[in-house]
Chain A
Amino acid sequence: MHGVKRVKPSAEVERLRKEKEAVKIKEYNRLIASCFAKKTNSEYDVEAFNITTKILSQNPDFYTIWNFRRTILLNTMLKDCSAEEKQQELSSELLFLQEVFRLNPKSYWIFNHRRWCLETMPTPDWQGELTLVGRILDMDSRNFHAWDYRRYVISKLSSTEAGDTEIRKNEFDFTTTKINQNFSNYSAWHQRSKLLPRLIKEKHLNDQERKKMIDREFELVKSAFYTDPDDQSAWLYHWWLIGREIRHLSILGAYYNPKKAQIILSFDDEIGMLTPFRVLYKYENSTNVIKGDWRSVDGEISNEDRMYGFVWVFTFSGEEMVNFSELVVTVKPEWIVTSHPEKKLARTISRCCNNGKFKKDKDILVLMTPKDLNEGVADSMTDMLSDLMIESPDLLLIDTPERLAVLRREISAIRELLDLEPDSKWCLQTLVNLLCELKHISGINSEEIAEIEKEVVILCDRLIHIDKIRTKRFEDLRSKAIFESSTRILIESSNIPSEVIYKHKESLISESTQISSFSLADQKITIIPLPSIFLHIRKLDLSLNKLKSIKFLANLINLQEANLSKNCITNIQGVHGLEFLRHLDVRSNLIENWESIKNELKKWQGDKCKVYLYGNPFVEISNDLLLEQRKVEGRVEIVWDDS
């Protein structure tokens, strides 16, 4: 019951209404009873037809009656009659539909019946339907049933008449008219997003003409958001028009752990595995597949169909480790899905390491380096790229210099508007989007990237202040920008080629200068967008932030010391598999119960570890005696006081 106002009638009015209503109910139920009697007995006669007319005039949502009406038409009126009679019968049906449409302009069933009539007619007047639906949209320019119907009529016109590009051109002009009547007509902008790429394709425009057409779009959007900077319709369309640079998935690191007979792969995205990655070893002249299991380190066991994660571990299932001359792991693009439909692995990737003479009793991680595949590399690469082109939503601007020019032009246009409307939220967040997009285009130097990241943080801070309803989203965006700029140094250091990373006693020593300690404290960050980047980190300081969860810690398989005090953490899920962890500081967070902590620490697999819990709500309200009873079996020591 949408939009029916509540009114409290007086007792007398209510009594009279009830009396009147009782008569109506009796009459209505009599009609229904006789209709269902006819239906049950398959009596498809004129009388039954007239009954359906009466019922549907009152209740156009009664789908069973529409179905029955069509059955009657098919079995009686339209049976064994001439094309002319058929046409006439269904034309009067269309008139009836117009009447009931007035009762309810948003009924699915009315439009369904209309489609059926026209499709059953010998000579449907699609042009007439187009005029009719145009009138309906004049009354309510956002009625989505009407827009759906319009698209349907257009598709019929396209299949019956020549020159369907012309029809689409007319539709395109129709959306221009609608948008010019009211810039807020999101339905019309949507329709445009469907027509524009097709028109560009069908008209075989050359580069110049295509560019001109797109520039005209930018002009139209611009005049829309200059007219009303708060209207989201044009802004959303603008963001689509800009398009997105294709993002590629990459492997941050690949390692072999001889002691445990494991391979570790870390990606720069949360991926889902469709097909297990292939692991081969070479020994003398033979190449063999190694059997084993792939698991993501934070994979949910409950998800039986597919696991997701940033860091993946392959454990060999054979008890004894083979001696090999070379170990190769291969990942094909079609074996994985990423967190974003347009993010892809550009080509098949293989990583390998030579020589199987590592001492298995020592803690050693062997770096696996890129390997060129002998067969089919070039082919698979071109295949993937052409696939990407087709799948990309970005039908408008493919070429990078052109994109760069458009982005820079639009950024300066938005800056101009921002001078006039300094508090326009849509203006600000579009600028954030454009800047982030610019960052991803190749050819932008590191200084400019740093500038962009700085500005994005400032813009997000303003948005947090302006759009109070959506603060959390801007906090996430801001965190992402801060995270990306602060961790760039880690990406650079992980690219330094190092042959072997040794684990000595409890700490990792690498031949290169892997950064092992990292701090991102006191930055108000709410999320850790890319935890796999911390794979090598042994000492991490994330205190004084706004993190709600530490699940991401599962990816930090070399972590020894973590400071997560003064955040908004509610439980410690994610730590139980961290075998090297010795200090976990989660003081002054929002942990409200002991049970969740106990459950996580019960699964603890590592050596001695201290967990600092002081200053959490459940600790605050407990007395010392109670705390003393709260212990975890095994090697975990809980520290309750603020030491």
Chain B
Amino acid sequence: MTSTKQLLVDLHVKYIQSLDTKKDDLEYWLTEHLRLSGIYWGITALDLLKNLDALNKEDVVKYVVSCQHDNGGFGGHVGHDPHLTNTLYAVQILLIEDALDAVNIEKIVEYVASRQDRQSGAFTGDEWGEVDTRFSYCALSCLSLLKRLDAVDVDKAVEFIMLCKNFDGGFGSTPGAESHAAQIFCCVGALAIVNSLHLVDADLLGWWLCERQLKNGGLNGRPEKLEDVCYSWWVLSALSILGKIHWINKEKLIEFVLAAQVYTLWSHFLALTRTFSNAKSFKDPESGGIADRPGDMADVFHTLFGIAGLSLLEYPDLKSVDPVYCLPKYVVQRIGLAERYHV
């Protein structure tokens, strides 16, 4: 494998375009429950790469609408059960496509509000009752994007999140659970949304977060674990919200993310010369996308979080990403939401 010092924009665009054509892979079918989230990861990445129109807006919106249930919630795919995480993904996609009016917003608000346990302030992912601070983030982010935070008990929601704070300044999934970078993104993001960042011990947590960077430049999600590209987002966004993004080494992390890109010289060349205009003819497993770490298979999840991380690191020619909402900044500005984080 050769390594590159550039972000292979064209190749990643082609990779994301080709995702819906891999129907002869069993994996395509086994991951059907991630279809809606996959679209969120894909179009957010495309938008940051300044290629939003690489996927057809009409198709995307139509598909998202088809995932909504009568109770207002969205499933991971057509016919799949509604869930809070998918409901946020749907709202995020529709905001990027500027097509929120395609769905019944009031119903979404109703669904999200019904997921709060009014006693503890916690949110359940669906009617089966799983509680997790991830869902607190999903609910607060979703309602804030819809400007309907009034629909839930925000003080109680904050109270629950604070019960999940740990000895290291980080946050876990439930009270008592160990700190984890992705969970920290959710909790810090949720607190930022409801103007409660003063509850975070920024020096202690910032320290813990910057210690996630390993010698190879990559970031891990917990002490003494392996590096992974997705933490370029979870760790970096939290650091950025706390105004401490400079505490990690920018150059080394950029190098690590770029090394996790999947490509062959030939595919790179083809993408650059735009030899193939038809994405369907493009199924080389080694072309495009970003993997969890160098040498592994690419997937759209790591592709987004790699690119979003690069955007936070001010990598050239990418649109800026909002560290709280994980949406392109202009989308958040378009709906008139204030920046709720430090520099």
In whole Å, how far is B338's beta carbon from the nearest beta carbon of chain A?
A: 5
User: Closest Cβ of chain B: how far from A35's Cβ, in Å?
Assistant: 10
Asked if A194 contacts B224 (CB within 8 A), the reply is no
A5 touches B177 (CB 8 A): no
- The binding surface of chain B is classed by DSSP as loop
Contacts A61-B33, A187-B178, A469-B252 known; A1 to B75 CB distance under 8 Å? Answer: no
Contact (A470, B178) CB under 8 Å given A190-B166, A302-B338, A338-B198: no
Asked if A306 and B291 make an inter-chain contact with CB atoms under 8 angstroms apart, the answer reads no
Indicate whether B262 reaches chain A with its CB closer than 8 angstroms.
yes
Q: Establish whether residues B223 and A1, one from each chain, have CB atoms under 8 Å apart when the complex forms.
A: no
Please judge, given known A-B contacts A184-B224, A236-B223, A473-B210, whether A112 and B130 are in contact too, CB under 8 Å: yes
Name the residue of chain A whose CB is nearest to the CB of B25: A21
CA distance A233 to B286 in the complex (A): 38
Chain B residues with CB below 8 A from A187, complex form: 178, 222
CB of A102 within 8 A of chain B? no
Q: Does B207 contact A (CB under 8 A)?
A: yes
In Å, the complex CA distance between A177 and B177 comes to: 19
Partner pick for B292 among A2, A63, A144, CB 8 A cutoff: A2
The residue on B at minimum CB distance from A21 is B26
Q: Which residues of A contact B25 (CB under 8 A)?
A: 21
- Report A-chain residues with C-beta under 8 Å of the C-beta of B178: 144, 147, 186-187, 190-191
B199, B224, B248: the one within 8 Å of A232 (CB): B224
Question: Quick check: A67 and B128 within 8 Å, CB to CB?
Answer: yes
Chain A 522-563 interface 0/1 with B at a Cβ cutoff of 8 Å (1 = within): 000000000000000000000000000100000000000000
By a CB distance below 8 angstroms, the chain A residues around B297 are 1, 4-6
Known contacts A6-B296, A64-B76, A67-B128; A469 and B249 CB within 8 A of each other: yes
Among A28, A191, A237, contact of B29 (Cβ-Cβ < 8 Å):
A28
Number of A residues contacting the other chain (C-beta, 8 Å)?
A: 67
User: Does B201 have its Cβ within 8 Å of any Cβ on chain A?
Assistant: yes
Give which listed residue, A6, A272, A468, contacts B285 with CB less than 8 A.
A6
Partner of A469, one of B180, B195, B248: B248
A24 within 8 A of B: yes
**Quick check: B299 and A1 within 8 Å, CB to CB?**
yes
If A302-B338, A469-B252 touch, whether A4 touches B296 (CB-CB below 8 Å) is: yes
B83 contact set on A, CB distance < 8 A: 63
Interface of chain B residues 24 through 62 with chain A (CB within 8 A): 24-26, 29-30, 32-33
Residue B80 interfacial (CB < 8 Å):
yes
Closest chain B residue, CB of each to CB of A59: B30
Chain A CB within 8 A of B200 CB: yes
Q: Which of B80, B198, B210, B298 is A339 in contact with, Cβ under 8 Å? A: B198
Q: Which residues of A contact B225 (CB under 8 A)?
A: 142
Question: Which among B91-99, B168-176, B269-277 touches the partner chain?
Answer: B168-176
A306 to B301, CA, bound (A): 35
Q: Could you say which of A151, A186, A302, A469 has the most chain B C-beta atoms within 10 Å of its C-beta? A: A469
- In the complex, A193 Cα to B168 Cα: how many Å? 9
Task: Tell me, yes or no, whether A472 is within 8 Å of chain B by CB.
Answer: yes
Kindly list chain A residues whose C-beta atoms are within 8 Å of the C-beta of B203: 340
B118 sits at the interface (CB 8 A): no
Contacts of A24 in B (CB 8 A): 26
Q: Closest approach, in angstroms, between the C-beta of B106 and any C-beta of chain A?
A: 24
- Closest Cβ of chain B to A120, distance in Å, is 12
Do the beta carbons of A340 and B79 come within 8 Å of each other? no
Alpha-carbon distance A67/B73, docked complex (angstroms):
15
A271-323 with Cβ < 8 A to chain B: 272, 302-306
Hey, which chain A residues are within 8 Å of B76, CB to CB? 63-64
State whether A232 touches B211 (Cβ < 8 A). Answer: yes
B246 interface residue per 8 A CB criterion: yes
Also in contact, A305 and B26, with CB within 8 A (given A63-B83, A233-B224)? no
Given contacts A303-B340, A469-B215, A469-B217, 15 further A-B contacts (CB under 8 A): A4-B296, A5-B296, A6-B296, A18-B24, A21-B25, A28-B29, A28-B30, A70-B128, A116-B128, A144-B222, A148-B174, A194-B167, A236-B168, A468-B249, A470-B247
List the interface of chain A (C-beta within 8 A of B): 1-6, 8, 18, 21-22, 24-25, 28-29, 32, 36, 40, 58-59, 61-64, 67, 70, 108, 112, 116, 142, 144, 147-148, 151, 184, 186-187, 190-191, 193-194, 231-233, 236-237, 240, 272, 302-306, 337-342, 393, 468-473, 476, 549
8 nearest interchain CB pairs?
A: A193-B167, A337-B198, A240-B167, A1-B299, A473-B247, A186-B223, A64-B81, A469-B249
